[in-house]
């Protein structure tokens, strides 16, 4: 046996030893693969009837479905008079594979199909392929093993809603396969009238308390906060006139209540107000027909800068669209919104909707969008109610005792920070991993180490931080998408708003990892994963306790804690979600600065990790007045090296014990181990 097989067998033995004797016996009796007629191998369950009759195939399957994950449910059940035994009285597994018995009647000849069998399954397969950017998707494939993450799951849920398929977010994580989702969806979304008209929900209008992330923004950005935007410039593949484009924008704003948001302040307290639709338009058209084409770019920057700088959070001017049109069909759409009304997931919704509406307008069809999910106002009210629950008061203690990191960061070379930390002085150092290395790191490593991509990246950052500063711990703020805080209570998969969570995390480097040994990398990742798993409400409990909980003393305690100097945000797959047939294209042409150059930066170091076209990209933002570029480049190098250490360690890590992933040779190894354990 070579070293690799020996390591795997040893790890497998450890997992099997955790099973009780009856569990091992039951496992052994199911360990057989069936490859009849040259078809795919299937898991087979062998049953020896007792006094009672053998239950039907479907009854057995339903019974096991309540107790086992999908991949451990046999595809076939075979009834035997008795199990074959060796001379020593042990189960003869090899003889079992050749034993013929009575196969239980099944509702389907193939219980583990890969191809879609229904229209809903076919639609979900198409959605998964597009969102995950993979060509081969079966209805029994695991979404997360194909490279999916929680952000992409929201995109899938939103796309499914467009196709009339309602998927509850919690249901998605229970068993992330198309077969399971298709069998449990709530059904088709009610169709709208041919005119596309639909009244705005009453609960989408009126005042609401601020969300925790909005409180965070008003605390962290103390001035120039009106100019703190996100924006995209789109190139049109259609020829659209001004009237059509104005109608598209008006329908978009009518549909999404957050685009009509304004903040109001009364007696020093902020509230948010969701205004009803009216005839005021956030749309402006700019004709460039009298401008030489070589000057189009400069005019886009000029006009874009003007719009970026004139949003007003207390006046409701928080979302704008500028339509540029020039000679020979040249057209651009600038969409920009204040961050307080939208986030990255929201942009995917908005871009999809703009593409849909433009295509409908060009085709002469009525403008209509899929039915809304829950309003942003309902979510804000739901968060306020959730903050009054007893577990939020208890969770405040988790954050109150978190140690404060006083590590001195490598500065600009003089040993002291120079100047104010503002956007004008921000710079970026980036690292990019190749697609194969990224796949190994974020798919294979997460599966083998049983940890999320976020945990794996934070483990790499912790190791890099130690090499950069010499510190054995790191306290930092971490961002989450936040759309899972209320569980199934409200579906916000197609809701525009700012749902992000920001919460502090304290990470400590295990002693056996400090020398950079690859053998300890797995323990490092698992330790970080355990720290994240222990966070109340996956970190969202901090914002609820800090800003919304009724306990004033708990709020004051958390407010007194200094903000960590570092922010980490893993955005997942960041390829923008324009529909496959869309003729719109996101451009990288300059279109004005999204933030005031004089606004304060909330952190000294900000790390944003994302996947684009299969490659991991990490952008490290810093102030050149606070840190020398050479020093930040060292941090970037340490981070890349640390991720390489973890990736290499993954090659030697055992695969988690999953029958569905075992081939015939591996199954034979399991059988041998079981026999050895029973003999012992």
CB atoms within 10 A of CB 494: 25
Inside any domain, residue 197:
no
CA distance 51 to 38: 36
Q: What is the pLDDT of residue 417?
A: 55
What is d(CA 521, CA 513) in angstroms, rounded to the nearest whole number? Answer: 7
Q: How many domains does the chain have?
A: 3
Whether 464 and 567 share a structural domain: yes
Instruction: State pLDDT tens for residues 177-209.
Output: 888 788 777 444 443 333 333 445 667 889 999
Hey, which residues does 474 pair with through a beta bridge?
507
pLDDT, one tens digit per residue, over 227-262 is 999 999 999 888 899 999 999 999 999 999 999 999
140: domain CATH number?
1.10.1200.10
Q: Quick check: is 435 in a domain? A: yes
Query: Is residue 340 in some structural domain?
Result: yes
442 plus 559 within the same structural domain: yes
Indicate the SS3 state at residue 273. strand
Assess if residue 167 is contained within a domain. Answer: yes
pLDDT for position 138: 84
**Section 624-649 average pLDDT:** 91
Tell me how crowded residue 587 is: count the other CB atoms within 10 A of its CB: 13
440 and 346, same structural domain? Answer: no
Whether residues 162 and 251 fall in one domain: no
Q: Are residues 365 and 471 in the same domain?
A: no
On whether both 227 and 289 belong to a single domain, the answer is yes
**Is residue 587 assigned to a domain?**
no
Alpha-helix residue ranges (DSSP H) falling in 99-139: 119-132
Question: Quick one: 558 and 646 in the same domain?
Answer: yes
Helix/strand/coil (H, E, C) string of 204-259? HCEEECCCHHHHHHHHHCCCCCCCEEEEEEEECCCCCCHHHHHHHHHHHHHHCHHH
Q: Is residue 32 situated within a structural domain?
A: no
Residue 190 inside a domain? The answer is: no
| 169 lies in the same domain as 210 | no
Task: Indicate if 495 and 546 belong to the same structural domain.
Answer: yes
Give the pLDDT of residue 488: 77
Q: What is the CATH number of the domain that holds 258?
A: 3.30.559.10
- pTM of the shown model: 0.75
Instruction: State the residue range of the domain holding 245.
Output: 204-372
Among 551, 408, 530, 532, smallest CA distance to 470 is for 408
Q: Are residues 627 and 536 in the same domain?
A: yes
440 in the same domain as 541? yes
- What pLDDT is stored for residue 68 in this prediction? 63
The answer to the question of residue 614 being in a domain is yes
* Arithmetic mean of pLDDT, 23-29: 45
Q: Does 208 lie in the same domain as 179? A: no
Residue 508 belongs to domain with CATH number? 3.30.559.30
pLDDT for 151: 74
């Amino acid at each position: 046996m070579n070293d690799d097989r020996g390591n795997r067998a040893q790890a497998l033995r450890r997992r099997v030893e955790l099973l009780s004797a009856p569990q091992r016996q039951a496992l052994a009796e199911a360990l057989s693969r069936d490859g009849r007629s040259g078809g795919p191998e299937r898991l087979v369950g062998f049953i020896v009837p007792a006094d009672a009759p053998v239950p039907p195939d479907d009854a057995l399957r339903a019974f096991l479905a309540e107790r086992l994950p999908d991949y451990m449910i046999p595809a076939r059940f075979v009834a035997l008079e008795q199990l074959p035994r060796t001379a020593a009285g042990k189960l003869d597994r090899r003889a079992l594979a050749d034993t013929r018995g009575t196969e239980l009647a099944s509702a389907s000849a193939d219980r583990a199909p890969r191809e879609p069998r229904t229209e809903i399954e076919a639609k979900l397969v198409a959605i998964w392929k597009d969102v995950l950017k993979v060509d081969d998707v079966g209805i029994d494939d695991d979404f997360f093993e194909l490279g999916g993450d929680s952000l992409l799951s929201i995109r899938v849920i939103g796309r499914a809603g467009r196709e009339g398929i309602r998927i509850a977010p919690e249901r998605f994580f229970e068993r992330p396969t198309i077969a399971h989702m298709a069998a449990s969806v709530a059904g088709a979304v009610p169709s709208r009238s041919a005119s596309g008209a639909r009244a705005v929900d009453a609960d989408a209008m009126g005042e609401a308390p601020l969300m925790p992330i909005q409180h965070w923004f008003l605390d962290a950005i103390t001035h120039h906060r009106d100019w703190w935007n996100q924006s995209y410039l789109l190139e049109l593949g259609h020829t659209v006139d001004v009237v059509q484009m104005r109608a598209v924008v008006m329908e978009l704003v009518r549909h999404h209540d957050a685009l009509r948001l304004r903040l109001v302040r009364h007696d020093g307290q902020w509230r948010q107000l969701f205004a009803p639709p009216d005839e005021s338009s956030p749309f402006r058209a700019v004709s460039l027909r009298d401008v030489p084409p070589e000057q189009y770019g400069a005019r886009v920057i000029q006009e874009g800068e003007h719009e970026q700088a004139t949003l007003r959070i207390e006046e409701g001017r928080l979302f704008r669209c500028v339509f540029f049109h020039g000679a020979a069909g040249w057209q651009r759409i600038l969409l920009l919104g204040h961050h307080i009304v939208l986030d990255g997931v929201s942009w995917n919704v908005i871009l999809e909707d703009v593409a849909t509406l433009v295509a409908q307008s060009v085709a002469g069809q009525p403008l209509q969008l899929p039915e809304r999910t829950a309003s942003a106002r309902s979510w804000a009210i739901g968060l306020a109610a959730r903050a009054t629950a007893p577990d939020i008061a208890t969770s405040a203690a988790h954050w109150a005792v978190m140690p404060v990191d006083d590590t001195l960061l490598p500065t600009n070379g003089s040993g002291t920070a120079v100047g104010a930390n503002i956007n004008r002085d921000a710079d970026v150092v980036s690292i990019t991993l190749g697609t194969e290395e990224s796949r190994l790191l974020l798919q294979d490593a997460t599966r083998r180490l049983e940890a999320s991509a976020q945990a794996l990246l934070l483990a790499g950052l912790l190791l890099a931080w130690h090499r950069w500063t010499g510190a054995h711990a790191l306290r930092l703020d971490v961002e989450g998408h936040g759309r899972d805080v209320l569980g199934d209570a409200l579906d916000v998969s197609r809701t525009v708003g700012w749902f992000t969570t920001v919460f502090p995390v304290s990470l400590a480097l295990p002693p056996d990892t400090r020398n950079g040994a690859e053998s300890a990398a797995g323990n490092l990742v698992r330790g970080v994963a355990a720290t994240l798993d222990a966070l109340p409400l996956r970190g969202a409990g901090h914002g609820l306790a800090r800003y919304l909980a009724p306990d004033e003393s708990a709020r004051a305690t958390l407010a007194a804690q200094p903000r960590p100097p570092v922010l980490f945000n893993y955005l997942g797959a960041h390829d923008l979600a324009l529909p496959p047939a869309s003729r719109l294209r996101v451009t990288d042409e300059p279109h004005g600065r999204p933030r005031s150059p004089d606004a304060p930066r909330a952190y000294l170091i900000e790390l944003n990790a994302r996947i684009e076209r299969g490659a991991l990209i990490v952008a490290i933002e810093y102030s050149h007045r606070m840190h020398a570029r050479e020093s930040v480049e060292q941090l970037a190098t340490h981070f890349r090296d640390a991720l390489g250490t973890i990736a290499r360690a993954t090659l030697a890590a055992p695969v988690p014990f999953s029958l569905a992933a075992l081939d015939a040779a591996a199954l034979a190894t399991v059988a041998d181990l079981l026999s050895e354990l029973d003999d012992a």
